[in-house]
Structure 1
């Protein structure tokens, strides 16, 4: 079986040594975002005056994106550190990791969402089985024509399948950049806004390293390309599905660490759960 993907003016990029100077740009924060260690490390900080953020120089249409993050330590209540893919426009697509801070000693909440054609409301939330502030951990997004897989240290925590066959929109046509930012969201982030940001603990800093991308890079040249990927190509993220071991890990995470699933929220969807919930 062959997967044929037609991508306008695109090319394949493989993982290479991290260089944040080469791959990203600080987009806001007035100096609160910094690239350090000859491009091997990036930090974003938040204080009472402002947060900060960066974006990738490339746009991607399908890919496997890995980023190592070390989250804000100690009392991070009220803060949100985001790491996501997004396109532009009023009918944008988006694939979200958001890390909701908490009081020291309490677990972070990992908030995930998928937007298609400008519509989200597909939240799933998890706690982690480790303290994400002590060391770096790898947070991955695998996005291909079959599904979107959110993973932590190689362990899948969420799968959003392509269910276009039953009328569920799926991100297929809009190239996306990688974004990350840190900002104050104490009106909702921690216990629904009950715990406010303690600015005496600022600045709050998140750190990034070891970015890797196996992806189709979108450009605006005049040529187009057609690429075929045989299903026998075991390393191809473009047709890779979860194996039996990964499915077991996914069930383990859902059983032990999932704290919210929109597909189980009958109060939010009293008439009918979203169509994809039968399969996701």
Structure 2
């Protein structure tokens, strides 16, 4: 049997070259043949946009595209949006991924969380709006009423009922506001309540879109207790009053606190 001699330097170089060639072939084969084959190199899919889809639609839609999905635990609530639909996804739409990649979905909650009603009384309308937005609430109807505090919030209402600060309300709820319009734009003659019982005088004043001011107790033995004997401003000819202003009353006898 003939043996290859490696005694000469030339023969040794030939053997080293053969070994290096084999190592190079194995190296290139691993990175450019085996590895791309086992990892589906170059076989990518464009992630579709599944936001606003229901879970049933997502399952079919992603399954047809060789993608999987998983619903995350950080679901959110969006006022006016369809519950149990996709709000956000990762990877984002149009991202290139490999087949079988999992898409993580954030769904919209069915039941909104509750938030504490902020105190808006005496705030300006602009400040009240910012406070509501910060709490996740929105401004509903605005009703302007006669009051010297122009653009100030005088009342806050939810579902037609007055709501106090701190009361839990659903996030995204509409809060109706009662807002002062200043002194009002209507000017008319001062109503005359002299000689009227206090309760009747109050009814006349409030019914005229005015306010009862200070009630002062006086003694007058010739008048019945509870009778109004003086008012300010007086109801004299030419005396005018603006909507929202106050009328002070002098009343015979003790006055019960409001």
TM-score (norm. length: structure 1):
0.19
Structure with higher RCO (Cα < 8 A, 6+ apart):
1
Structure with the greater alpha carbon radius of gyration: 2
Q: Compare the two structures and name the one with the higher strand fraction.
A: 1
Q: Compare the two structures and name the one with the higher helix fraction.
A: 2
